[in-house]
Structure formats: C-alpha cells, structure tokens
C-alpha cells in the first residue's frame, strides 16, 4: 500500500488480538447461554439483563460421552442446564434390578433443581450420551 498524505494507523499485537478475540468469544457464549436460560421455565420470567448476569455466575462445564454428571443417591448441590449436547437420565429400579431410562435431555433442558431446593439426595443419574456436552451449573 502507498499512503497519499498523512496516515494514522491503529495496531494490535498478535497477543492483543487473541485477547480481544477471546473476549468477543466469551461475550458470544454469554449471549447464547442467556438465550438457553430464557427457555428454562424456572428462569423464563427473568429480564434479559438478569439472565445475562446469571451467565457470569454459572460455571461452564464441558463433558464427553460416558461422563456421569450426577449419580443417583449423591448430594444435590448443583442445578444444571444443558447448553448443547444430550444427556440420558436413568433411575435404579429395585423391582427390575437394573437402571431404567427415564428421559433424554438436550439444549435448554435442566435438572438438579429439586435436590438443590429440598437438599435431598439425587433421585436419578445423568450421563452424557452425545460426543460432547456443554452445560452450565
């Protein structure tokens, strides 16, 4: 390029560019998470601002196929919302002496709220069945 007169340039180093891009990706993730949270009936009455604030409180957790998110009988200490991917909900049946499939959860679906609200032990297990699942808790 050839300048024709005085030129003022703004520059970013490689590190600064990646830092900025990382921040943009974080904001985009927060926006998409707020949209997912808006679909949760328990949170649907919250304002967009409140939902966005929640995204800064939630912790992102990325799991892979076969990972157990919660185990039946364990303490109920987290509320989960599936951001993307899918999970299988199972429960032990003493009459069948095996695990019974109850539901498959996908984006925008949630679990763990009852145990969290009542401080009861988990009544079911949740396992990742997609190659990867991203959740917020």
Nearest partner of 137 among 55, 53, 51, 79, judged by Cα: 79
| Between 134 and 82, residue with greater pLDDT | 82
Task: Answer yes or no: is pLDDT of 137 > 70.
Answer: no
Please give the pLDDT value at position 86. 94
Query: Each residue of 13-46: pLDDT tens digit?
Result: 888 877 776 677 777 788 888 888 888 788 888 8
Query: Each residue of 55-99: pLDDT tens digit?
Result: 888 888 889 999 999 999 998 888 898 888 999 999 999 999 999
How does residue 135 score in pLDDT terms, banded at 50, 70 and 90? Answer: low
How does residue 126 score in pLDDT terms, banded at 50, 70 and 90? Answer: very high
Distance of CA 39 to the CA centre of its chain: 13
**Of the ranges 48-52, 60-64, 73-77, 115-119, which one carries the lowest mean pLDDT score?**
115-119
Round to whole Å and give the CA distance between 36 and 34: 5
Task: Enumerate the domain spans of the chain.
Answer: 13-58, 61-137
| Between 95 and 9, residue with greater pLDDT | 95
Please give the pLDDT value at position 93. 92
For the domain spanning 61-137, the CATH number is 2.60.120.10
Q: How distant, in Å, are the alpha carbons of 7, 9, 10 from that of 4? A: 8, 14, 17
3-class DSSP assignment, residue 79 = coil
Query: Each residue of 93-102: pLDDT tens digit?
Result: 999 999 999 9
């Amino acid at each position: 390029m050839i300048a024709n007169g005085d030129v003022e340039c703004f520059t970013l180093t490689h590190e600064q560019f990646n830092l900025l891009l990382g921040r943009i990706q974080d904001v985009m993730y927060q926006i998409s998470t707020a949209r997912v949270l808006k679909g949760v009936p328990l949170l649907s009455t919250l304002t967009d601002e409140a939902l966005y604030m929640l995204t800064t409180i939630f912790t992102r957790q990325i799991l892979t196929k076969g990972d157990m998110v919660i185990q039946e009988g364990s303490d109920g200490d987290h509320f989960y919302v599936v951001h993307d991917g899918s999970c299988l909900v199972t429960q032990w049946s003493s009459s069948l002496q095996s695990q019974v499939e109850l539901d498959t959860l996908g984006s925008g679906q949630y679990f763990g709220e009852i145990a969290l609200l009542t401080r009861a032990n988990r009544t079911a297990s949740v396992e990742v069945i997609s190659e990867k699942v991203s959740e917020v808790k």
